[in-house]
């Protein structure tokens, strides 16, 4: 599937989402969000990995503004439906994907771009990548982006990025827990390919078991997570016989 702003490609067991608006920094619009949601919520049983990449020099510099024109007086419900609901649906869909989701981040990851990196299970970043949540510069509380990061990134990291509007380097983002690994920009594609091949070397049932545990175990008691771990391991192993 391809549009003028996004390409969604199937390569064997890999589903790759390419943000493809390099002329404007890969700003996310509603059509792109809807295309991603449709792709990740209809995965077949053979899909083992989702990978989000970008064309051009930047991963994603934010969101194409859906705000009503100047002078309009939209109701709170209209703003909720037009402004808040689309990105929340995107984040929820990516969180709910049954298999691991990997982001490959180069250049700027701003606002929604930062949220996309954070909401993925693994984020591989080039050493020249930059991460920022700048909405409060316009006196807008970035609670939508925050909702993507809470539970996946330390609260103090979220608070610092939101309140200070600081631009984090890739290494700072790694230290802060926003990304998983930083590699030289020139080696990013090769590292992403190697990671993809490593993950695709596992069966779908094993990858889904890992994803389920990552999703659900943090909210369980120790006893509950232990029992869940045993259940998932036994289910995955039984598929071999």
Contact yes or no for 80/98 (Cβ under 8 A): no
The CA-atom distances, in angstroms, between 117 and each of 53, 74, 151, 226 are 10, 31, 14, 29
| pLDDT recorded at residue 68 | 65
CA–CA gap between residue 96 and residue 197 (Å, rounded):
23
Report helix angle 85-95 to 30-40, nearest 10: 30
Which CATH superfamily, name and number, covers 6-197?
A: 2-enoyl-CoA Hydratase; Chain A, domain 1 (3.90.226.10)
Tens-level pLDDT at each residue, the chain (241 residues): 546 799 999 999 999 999 999 999 999 999 999 999 999 999 999 999 999 999 999 999 999 877 666 677 778 887 788 788 889 999 999 999 999 999 999 999 999 999 999 999 999 999 999 999 999 999 999 999 999 999 999 999 999 999 999 999 999 999 999 999 999 999 999 999 999 999 999 999 999 999 999 999 999 999 999 999 999 999 888 887 7
Contact yes or no for 29/62 (Cβ under 8 A): no
| pLDDT recorded at residue 3 | 63
């Amino acid at each position: 599937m391809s549009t003028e702003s996004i390409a969604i490609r199937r390569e064997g067991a890999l589903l790759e989402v390419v943000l493809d608006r390099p002329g404007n920094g890969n700003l996310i619009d509603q059509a792109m969000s809807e295309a991603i949601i449709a792709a990740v919520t209809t995965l077949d049983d053979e899909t083992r990995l989702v990978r989000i990449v970008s064309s051009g020099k930047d991963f994603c510099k934010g969101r194409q503004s859906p705000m009503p024109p100047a002078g309009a007086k939209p109701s709170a419900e209209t703003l909720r439906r037009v402004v808040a609901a689309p990105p929340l649906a995107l984040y929820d869909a990516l969180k709910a994907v049954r298999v691991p989701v990997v982001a490959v981040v180069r250049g700027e990851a701003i606002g929604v771009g930062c949220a996309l990196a954070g909401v993925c299970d693994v984020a591989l970043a080039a050493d020249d990548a930059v991460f920022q949540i700048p909405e409060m510069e316009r006196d807008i509380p970035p609670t939508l982006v925050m909702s993507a990061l809470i539970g996946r990134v330390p609260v103090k990291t979220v608070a610092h990025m939101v309140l200070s509007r600081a631009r984090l380097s890739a290494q700072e983002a790694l230290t802060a827990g926003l990304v998983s690994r930083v590699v030289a920009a020139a080696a990013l594609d090769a590292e992403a390919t190697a990671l993809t091949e490593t993950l695709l070397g596992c069966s779908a049932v094993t990858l889904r078991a890992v994803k389920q545990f990552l999703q659900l175990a943090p909210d369980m008691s120790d006893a509950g997570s232990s029992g869940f771990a045993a259940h998932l391991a036994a289910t995955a192993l039984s598929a071999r016989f």
